[in-house]
Amino acid sequence: MSPKPNRREFLGIVGGGALGVATSGVTLKGLSTLNAAIASEEVHVPRGPEAWSLSVCSLCPAGCGLRVRTIGKRAVKIQGNPLHPVNRGGLCPRGLAGLQVLYHPDRLRAPQQNVGSREAPRWKEISWEEAMETLTRHLRELRERNQAHSVVWVDGRYGHLRHRLFRKFFDAYGSPNCLHTGTGLEAARAALYLQQGATEGVAYELEHTRYLLSFSANVLEGWGSPVSNMRAFGSWRDAEAGRRTKFVQIEPRMSLTAARADEWVALRPGTEAALALGIAYVLITEGLCDTRFLAEHTFGFEDWRDASGRSHMGFRSLVLSEYRLNQVAAITQVPLETILRLAREFAGNRPALAIGGPQCPTTPGDVYGAMAVHSLNALVGSLEVPGGALVRPDLPQGSHGPHPANTEREPGGTNHARESVIRVEESLLPWPDVSRLPQVLLSRKPYPVQAMLIHGADPVFSLPNGEEFARALEAVPFVVSFASFLDDTAAHADLILPDHTDLEKWQESASPPTFAFPLQSISPPVVAPVHQTRDAAEVLLRVARAMGGEMAEALPYSTAEEFLRSQVAGIFAAQTGYSFSTSLEETWNRMSERAGWWAPTFSSAQELWEEIRLRGGWWEPTYSYGEWNRALRTRSGRFEFYSQRLAEWTVSHPEFVRAGGFEPGDDRLCLPHQLRLPEPPEGFPFLLLPVEVLPLAGGTGAEIPYLQQIAGPHVFEHWESWLEMNPETAKKLGVEDGEWIWVESPRGRGRARLRLFEGARPGVVHLPLGYGRTQGSRWACRGVNPLRLVASEPYSPAGVARALPTFVRVYV
Amino acid sequence: MTATTATVKRQRTWAWPAVTKTILLPVSLLFALGLAAQGSGNSGYFLVPGEAKAGMKTFFDKGCIRCHAVMGEGGRSAPDLGRAPAGYLSASEIVAAMWNHAPQMWTKMQQQKVAPPSFSASEMANLFAFLYSVRSMDEPGDAERGRQLFSAKRCGECHQRGARTAPRAPDLSQWASYRNPVSWIQAMWNHAPAMQALMEARGYSWPEFQGSDVADLLAYVRTQVTSRGPHLYLRPASPDAGKTLFTAKGCANCHTLHGSDRAGVPDLGTRSLPRTLGQFAAQMWNHSPTMWVSMKAQNIPRPQFSNKEMADLVAYLFAERYFEASGNSGRGRRMFEVKGCGSCHVPGGSGSGPDLSSWQGRVSPVRLATSMWNHGPVMLGRMQEQQMPWPVFQTGEMVDLMEHLNRGLAERQPARARR
C-alpha cells in the first residue's frame, strides 16, 4: 500500500521552513552559534571602503558564480553573480554559507605535522618552510628511487583547470595516479558511455523539455546544479510564453522535489529500472516510438545476428517478454493504469526527457537502471534535440602541449610507461573508481603505494567502505592531506597542508554536471588569507620549482594565476565562445551563432582574460544538435540498446556475470534490466534508504552551523540525525515521534531521533547523509553516518560503486 | 532620386529625398556589430540609425518578446518576426507591416490589459535594425530534409566518403564545421567552374536550390561533422570593404545597385533578391552556370574570394538593399486621399488629426513608425468613432506616402516614375 501524505501540509512545512531560514537572518541558531564562537576574535564592525568582487562557489559541483561584498579587508555578504550562466544571480543556502567557511573558528590555521602515531595522532603546528621541505624531500626521494609511480593523488574538488595543473604535475613527476572522486552521477555517465560511447558529461536541456520523467533524480535538491534547475523549473510554468512542462517525480519517498513536482509516483525502492522498462513496453506495443530515430540511429533494438551468425536478443524482445505491464506493476507496486498513462504522456509531449537516478557521490547507483531510463530517451528520439539528452562538448584545451606522461627514467636512460594503480584497462568504464583504492592499498597490487596526497576529498567519511579506506591508509608510508578542516581522512595523515577556502584564492570551475554548455569560471581572490594557509595548486607549483629540471620546465608558472592565464590563452586560441554576459546578450550571441556569426567582445587573449576577471568566466552558449559522430561513438556508431562494450567485457569477466545471477552469454547482461531485489534477512524488517538533503548535499557541509540549522525543515529537525518513518509503521512498532531510537544493520548501528513522516513509505526508513563525522569542527561530529550502516558493493567490477539494499531493525 | 540617409556629421535629421546614395545603412547582423563602432567613431562615413543588439534589448524591455518570437525565441501568441512574412522587407515595408497589423495588436493588448509601450525614435531605429538583422538569418534548417535533398540532388554521388566516382570531390563532412552560409557561398563560387566541368563530363545537370534548401542541406552536412574541434564562424564583416570589393573584383562591371538590369544581369539592390543568406547562396548557385557563360563570352576573368572578402561583399549587398529607391510623390498624394488620411490630417490644422505639413523633409521609416505606434491607439479610437476603416498599405505604397509627406502636403508636382 502506498503512503498518502498530506501534500499541502508537506509543502507548507517545507515552504515555511525555507521562508523562516530566508528571513530570520542572524537570529538563527546557526549564525548566533558561530557568532558566539568567534566573538572573542571579531568584536568590532568592519571598517573601510566597500567593494564587490566575483568568486566561484565550490561547495557543490555546480560551481555557481558569486558576488561578494567586502568592507575593508573583510567579506561581509555573498550574493549570486547575475552574469553567471549557471545561477544567473541565484544562490542556494550552501552558496550563502560561504562566509561561515571562510571565518570558521575551527579551520586549520597553519600546516600540521603528526608527531604521534597513525592510531594516536598528535598534531604539531609547523612552518610552511618546514612543511614544504618535508613534502618536497619525500617526493624527490621517491622519484630518485624510481618510485614516482607509487605516488597517488586523490582529488575531490570540483574545479577543472586545477585538475589540469595537478595532472600536468603528476605527468611530469612520473605518476599515472592522478585520481578523482566522482560527482555522484557516475551511473548516468556510465549509461552514456555504454550506450553512446561518450566519455564527456551527460547533459540535459531541462529548460526546453516539455515533459520530464525523473527517476529518483533529486532535481531541486542537489542534482546537477540546483539553482540552474530551479530556473528551468520556473520556466516550465511560464504562462506568458504559453509553456507548461509537466514534471513527474518517480521515487519511493516524498522528497522536496517530489512535493514540488506536478505528480509524484511512489514506487517500491530499487525498481526504477523495471518501471522504465514497463513504460518502454507501452511505447513499443502502442507504436509510440520514434521509428525513424530507431531505424537510423540505434543498434540492438531488434534481435540481431553477430558476425559468427549467432542470434542475439534485442531490446524489444526483452521488454515484450519480461516487462509486461502486469509484471511491472507487481514489481514496482505502481498501478498498471499509471504506467500506461505515463507512457502515453511521455510519448505525446515532445521533447520529453527521462532522467535518473539521484546524484549522490556517496551512493552513485545502478548502471543498468540508468541504461533503462536513458533508453526511454532513445525510444522517443529525445537524443540530440532541443529539450533532450545531449553530450556536452569538451572545453577547449589549454595552450600547453602534451607532456610525456606516466614515464620514469630507468638507470639506463629509457622511459617506460607505468600502469595506474587502479587499472582502468580491467574496468568496464574508462575512468578509475576511487572506491577500489582500499583493495589496492591493502593488497599492494599491482604495486605498493608509497605516498598518497589527498585534496578536497574525505573518502574515509564519504565512501561506503570508508572504514576500510582508513585501515588501508595505514599501509601507506606517507600521507598528505590538503584539508581546510581536520576531517576523518586528514586524521590519518602525516602532514596537513591546509588549503585556502574559496574566497581566499584564485577560483575556477567548469560546467556543472548535466549542464549542456562548455563553461569555465575564473575569479581572483576576494580577501587575503585569514590564516596561514596556501592554495594547493601553488604548493605543487613550488614543489615543481624546488625539484627543478623537467618538473620546473613542465610547470613554468610561479602562481596559480599564471597557470590560469595560460589556460585562458588556450581558450582564446580556440576562437569560440564569449565571456559571461546578460541573458539578453546570451540570446543575441546564440542567435548570431546559429546564423554563423561569431562576434566576441574580445580580440586578444589579454582582453579575454580582462573580461573574465570582470564578468566571472567564459562559455559557449550554443549547442550543435545532431552531430552524431560526436554524440554516438559506440562501435556501431549508434545508440546501443544492446551495449557491445558490455558484451565484449563480460566475456572476460565471468565474476561479473555470476554476480548478476546470469549464465555466460546471456544477452540480458548487455541490455538494460531490473536487478534482483533481495529479501529482508531474518530480524531486519525495514529497508534503510539514506537521503540527501540540500544543505548537506554530497554528504558535506556539516561543519557549517547555518547548514545544520536548516537541514531538515520538513520534519522540523536539525543539528542531529533523524530517522524518518511512516506513522503507520511507527504505530505498529509502538514508537513515537521524537523518541531517540536505535537503527541497526548487520554492519553497525547508530542512534537518531525518530520523526514521523507521511512521505516515507511503510516499511522503509530514511537517514540523512552528511552526519556522523568523527573529526572536523565542533559542530560536525554529531549524528549517524548512514554509510556506516549500508551494505555496499565498493569493488563493483563495473567501475561504479553502488549501495545495496540494506535492511535494518529499529528499537528504542 | 534615391532613398538613403546622411552621415551624422552632415545632417542630423532625415531628408529622405535629398540625400545621395553614397552612404550605407548597416543593419544586417553581418556587420551590425562591426559597424556600431564605426558609426560612433570618427570616420563619420556611416550613419548608424539603429544598432541591432540595442534593438533586441528594446524588443525585450518593451515586452514585444512576450507575444512575438524572433528565430524561435519568445512568445507564441503572435507571429515570429524573424520569419514572418516569409519574403524580404525593406524599412518602409516593415513600417507598412506594423501599420497594417497594429489595430489587431492593440486590440489584443487591450484584451490582455497590457498598455502599449511607447518608443523613442532611437529605440524604434534600433528595433528596425534588429528586425532587419534577424530577418537576414536562416532558420536552423531541417537536417532530415537536407539529407533527402542531398540524395535527391545526387550530391552524395561525388561528395561523400567512399564515393566511387573519380576524380573524387571533397567529402563535405570535412566542411561540416563551417557554420556560416557565406562560407559556403565562397566555396561554391570559387569551385563552381571546376564542379560544373566535372558534372558536364559526367552528364549531370546542374542542380538548383529553392527556399530553405541550402539551410536544410547545411543542417544535414553539419550532422556529418567528424572533427571534435571548434566550429568555424565568420566575424562581423565590413560593408565598407565590400563596397570596394564590388568594384575591385569587377562585379560592378555587370551588376548595378538600385539601377536597372543590364541585359539580363540582375540588379543586386532590388528587393526581389532573397531575404536570407542561405537563400542568397542558393540564388548564386542557381545562376552560376549562366553567369559563368556570360563572363567567358565577355572575356571577364572569374574573381576568387576569400571567406572574409565574400562576407564583406555580402554585407555590402545586404546593407545596400535596406534602402529602396525613393517613392513616387504623386502616387503618394493619391494614396493620402484614397486611404482617407486627408480627411483628418488637414493642412493648416483644421482637421481632427495633426497637420502633417510640418513633417516636410523629415519623414523616415523610423519616424513614421514611431509616430504611428505612439499615437496610433488614439488615432484608431477616433477612426472607430467616425466608423472609418483602418487603411491597409500594399507593397510600395508606404514609400510613396513617405515621399509625398517629405515633399510637403501642398505639393502638386507631377508624379515621376519611381522605378
Closest residue of B to A595, CA-based? B137
For residues A275 and A429, the model is more confident at A275
Segment A736-761, tens digit of pLDDT: 999 999 999 998 999 999 999 999 99
Question: Nearest CA to CA, how far is B73 from chain A (Å)?
Answer: 8
For A286-298, what is the mean pLDDT?
A: 96
Return d(Cα B222, Cα A102) in angstroms, integer: 48
Amino acid identity, residue A711?
Answer: A
Q: Cβ of A240 under 8 Å from any chain B Cβ?
A: yes
Radius of gyration of chain B (CA): 24
Q: Cβ of A44 under 8 Å from any chain B Cβ?
A: no
Contact assignment for A594 to B277 by CB distance below 8 Å = no
Q: Cβ of A573 under 8 Å from any chain B Cβ?
A: no
| Closest CB from A587, A593, A627 relative to B73 | A587
Beta bridge partners of A409: A415
* Residue A759, pLDDT score: 94
* Residue A23, pLDDT score: 36
Cell 630507468 appears where? A410
* Residue A398, pLDDT score: 56
Closest residue of A to B59, CA-based? A584
| Closest CB from A396, A595, A627 relative to B137 | A595
Contact assignment for A598 to B60 by CB distance below 8 Å = no
Torsion of CA B60, B64, B65, B71, to 10 degrees: -110
Return d(Cα A27, Cα A22) in angstroms, integer: 11
* Residue B194, pLDDT score: 84
User: Which residues 6+ apart lie within 8 Å of A708 measured at CB?
Assistant: A30, A695, A702, A718, A719, A779
Q: Cβ of A593 under 8 Å from any chain B Cβ?
A: yes
User: Which residues 6+ apart lie within 8 Å of A433 measured at CB?
Assistant: A186, A422, A427, A796, A799, A800, A801
Closest residue of A to B179, CA-based? A596
| Closest CB from B29, B138, B182 relative to A592 | B29
Contact assignment for A591 to B183 by CB distance below 8 Å = no
Radius of gyration of chain A (CA): 26
* Residue A14, pLDDT score: 44
Segment B214-266, tens digit of pLDDT: 889 888 888 887 766 677 888 888 888 888 999 998 888 888 876 666 667 77
Beta bridge partners of A354: A213
Q: Cβ of A598 under 8 Å from any chain B Cβ?
A: yes
Contact assignment for B180 to A596 by CB distance below 8 Å = yes
Interface ipTM above 0.90: no
Q: What residue spans define the domains of chain B? A: 29-135+325-407, 143-320
Mean of all residue pLDDT scores within chain A: 88
Number of CB pairs, chain A paired with chain B, less than 8 A apart: 87
Residue B250 near residue B303 (C-beta atoms within 8 A): yes
Cα–Cα distances (Å) from A57 to A25, A79, A101, A185, A560, in that order, read 21, 11, 11, 19, 17
pLDDT band, residue A606 (cuts 50/70/90): very high
| Closest CB from B76, B180, B228 relative to A241 | B76
- Burial (CB count within 10 angstroms: exposed 0-12, middle 13-18, buried 19+), residue B316: buried
Of A358, A360, A368, the C-alpha closest to A194 is A368
Closest residue of B to A576, CA-based? B230
Segment A417-431, tens digit of pLDDT: 478 888 777 778 888
CATH class of A686-811: mainly beta
Of A158, A220, A221, the C-alpha closest to A521 is A158
For residues A564 and B195, the model is more confident at A564
* Residue A108, pLDDT score: 96
- Burial (CB count within 10 angstroms: exposed 0-12, middle 13-18, buried 19+), residue A734: exposed
Lowest mean pLDDT among A19-28, A548-557, B113-122, B281-290: A19-28
* Residue A38, pLDDT score: 55
Segment A244-261, tens digit of pLDDT: 899 999 999 999 999 999
Residue A247 near residue A237 (C-beta atoms within 8 A): no
Closest residue of B to A584, CA-based? B57
The answer, yes or no, to whether residue A416 has pLDDT greater than 50, is: no
Give the pTM. 0.86
Contact assignment for B233 to A624 by CB distance below 8 Å = no
Residue A7 near residue A259 (C-beta atoms within 8 A): yes
Contact assignment for B181 to A596 by CB distance below 8 Å = yes
Contact assignment for A624 to B56 by CB distance below 8 Å = no
Chain A residues touching B29 at Cβ < 8 A:
592, 595, 597
| Closest CB from A588, A599, A628 relative to B236 | A599
Q: Cβ of A575 under 8 Å from any chain B Cβ?
A: yes
Return d(Cα A226, Cα A260) in angstroms, integer: 14
Topology of the domain covering A186-393: Dimethylsulfoxide Reductase; domain 2 (3.40.228)
Contact assignment for A575 to B236 by CB distance below 8 Å = no
C-alpha cell, B374:
505612439
Contact assignment for B75 to A594 by CB distance below 8 Å = no
pLDDT band, residue B44 (cuts 50/70/90): very low
* Residue A363, pLDDT score: 60
Closest residue of B to A589, CA-based? B53
Coil/strand/helix, residue B318: helix
Q: Cβ of A397 under 8 Å from any chain B Cβ?
A: no
C-alpha cell, B170:
571533397
Chain A residues touching B56 at Cβ < 8 A:
584, 587-588
Return d(Cα B63, Cα A251) in angstroms, integer: 40
User: Which residues 6+ apart lie within 8 Å of A514 measured at CB?
Assistant: A185, A201, A202, A203, A204, A206, A223, A224, A225, A355
User: Which residues 6+ apart lie within 8 Å of B257 measured at CB?
Assistant: B246, B267, B268, B269, B317, B320
Q: Cβ of A238 under 8 Å from any chain B Cβ?
A: no
pLDDT band, residue A330 (cuts 50/70/90): very high
Return d(Cα A442, Cα A555) in angstroms, integer: 33
A617-619/A578-579 β-pairing: antiparallel
Contact assignment for B66 to A240 by CB distance below 8 Å = yes
Of B344, B334, B348, the C-alpha closest to B396 is B334
For A323-347, what is the mean pLDDT?
A: 97
Identify from A293, A597, A624 which residue to disrupt to test chain B contact, counting B C-beta atoms within 10 A and taking the largest count: A597
For residues B186 and A792, the model is more confident at B186
* Residue A403, pLDDT score: 41
Closest residue of B to A628, CA-based? B223
CATH class of A112-183+397-547: alpha beta
Q: Cβ of A417 under 8 Å from any chain B Cβ?
A: no
Q: Cβ of A414 under 8 Å from any chain B Cβ?
A: no
Chain A residues touching B230 at Cβ < 8 A:
396, 574-576
pLDDT band, residue A604 (cuts 50/70/90): very high
The answer, yes or no, to whether residue A776 has pLDDT greater than 60, is: yes
Length of chain B: 419
Chain A residues touching B73 at Cβ < 8 A:
587, 590-591
Segment A365-405, tens digit of pLDDT: 788 999 999 999 999 999 999 999 999 988 887 544 444 43
The answer, yes or no, to whether residue B26 has pLDDT greater than 50, is: no
The answer, yes or no, to whether residue B50 has pLDDT greater than 50, is: yes
Contact assignment for A597 to B234 by CB distance below 8 Å = yes
One DSSP character per residue, B188-234 reads HHHHHHHHHHHHHHHTPPPP---TTHHHHHHHHHHHT----S--B-B
Residue B216 near residue B152 (C-beta atoms within 8 A): no
Contact assignment for A597 to B30 by CB distance below 8 Å = yes
Coil/strand/helix, residue A189: helix
Segment A88-140, tens digit of pLDDT: 999 999 999 999 999 999 999 999 999 999 889 999 999 999 999 999 999 99
Question: Nearest CA to CA, how far is A587 from chain B (Å)?
Answer: 8
For A9-29, what is the mean pLDDT?
A: 43
- Burial (CB count within 10 angstroms: exposed 0-12, middle 13-18, buried 19+), residue A362: buried
Q: What residue spans define the domains of chain A? A: 112-183+397-547, 186-393, 686-811
Chain B residues touching A584 at Cβ < 8 A:
56-57, 60
pLDDT band, residue A83 (cuts 50/70/90): very high
Q: Cβ of A603 under 8 Å from any chain B Cβ?
A: no
Question: Nearest CA to CA, how far is B35 from chain A (Å)?
Answer: 12
Helix (H) or strand (E) holding B129: helix B121-135
Length of chain A: 812
Contact assignment for B228 to A630 by CB distance below 8 Å = yes
Question: Nearest CA to CA, how far is A575 from chain B (Å)?
Answer: 8
Segment A669-720, tens digit of pLDDT: 999 999 888 888 899 999 999 998 888 988 888 999 999 999 988 888 889 9
Which chain B residues touch A if contact means CB-CB below 8 Å? Answer: 29-30, 33-34, 53, 56-57, 60, 66, 70-71, 73-77, 134, 136-138, 140, 143-144, 173, 176, 178-183, 219, 222-226, 228, 230-231, 233-236, 277
Segment B134-155, tens digit of pLDDT: 888 888 788 889 989 988 888 8
For residues B254 and A318, the model is more confident at A318
Return d(Cα A690, Cα A361) in angstroms, integer: 12
* Residue B162, pLDDT score: 55
Of A399, A293, A312, A402, the C-alpha closest to A352 is A293
Question: Nearest CA to CA, how far is B218 from chain A (Å)?
Answer: 11
C-alpha cell, A723:
530517522
* Residue A182, pLDDT score: 78
Handedness of CA A338, A339, A343, A344 (dihedral sign): negative
Q: Cβ of A576 under 8 Å from any chain B Cβ?
A: yes
Question: Nearest CA to CA, how far is B181 from chain A (Å)?
Answer: 7
